[in-house]
Chain A
């Protein structure tokens, strides 16, 4: 499988500032990564598909100018929450899609964002 890390694991920021969340695939070169958002006691909602070397594909209703995704290398994708507001407070989870015999998604531990 793939080992996926996220940094930071927890961040608090003030309204109006921007926050960058990193997702790293430690042992697999990931062409495709996914970003999910999870509200308390709710399911994971897909935000976007991140493809290395190309623009991310955003799900309907997700503001691409607010949630900037950069997949600059096969081991790193970043999600930047710009001009954060309290309603952006959530748990953000990235996932790596492996290929080969079995296409599987491996998940990072998540990043809890609190906007004050």
Chain B
């Protein structure tokens, strides 16, 4: 079975502080991992995916297969980063995403 766990419902940080949103997954194979973001009153949008190994809006995430984790990090949080962040997994390219429960990031000025 596929499962994504985001242990924190809410994470509050001060502007300029580092951010780490935790994500752990459970899957017997080699999944694809993603981070999606949902800003207030907007639709869900892709932030980054592990296979592309890119940095989007200063965020990075490294897949750690040993720890089955895919934590999202940013060295200096900005107020505009305040949003709901969802970690997601999929087993195969043409299968649906399975989401974690999400973490609400609040960046305080």
Contact = CB atoms under 8 A, between A and B. Distances in A.
B43 A34 contact: no
Given A93-B44, A104-B46, A107-B45, A44 B99 contact: yes
A80 interface: no
A49 B96 contact: yes
Contacts, number: 38
B37 to A, nearest CB: 11
Contacts of A109: 42-43
A92 B94 CA distance: 21
Interface of A, helix, strand, loop or mixed by DSSP: strand
A110 B99 contact: no
Contact of B43 (A42, A97, A107): A107
A47 to B, nearest CB: 10
A70 B99 CA distance: 24
Given A93-B44, A104-B46, A107-B44, A42 B101 contact: yes
A32 B96 CA distance: 10
Query: In the complex, which range does the number of interface residues on chain A fall in?
Result: 10 to 19
B47 interface: no
Give the one of A4, A34, A43, A110 with max B CB within 10 A.
A43
Contact of B102 (A4, A32, A43, A110): A43
B81 to A, nearest CB: 19
Query: In the complex, which range does the number of interface residues on chain B fall in?
Result: 10 to 19
Given A43-B101, A43-B102, A44-B86, A108 B96 contact: no
Interface in B51-99: 86, 93-94, 96-99
A105 B99 contact: no
Contact of B94 (A95, A99, A107, A108): A99
B101 A105 contact: no
A105 B46 CA distance: 8
A70 B51 CA distance: 33
Interface of B: 42-46, 86, 93-94, 96-102
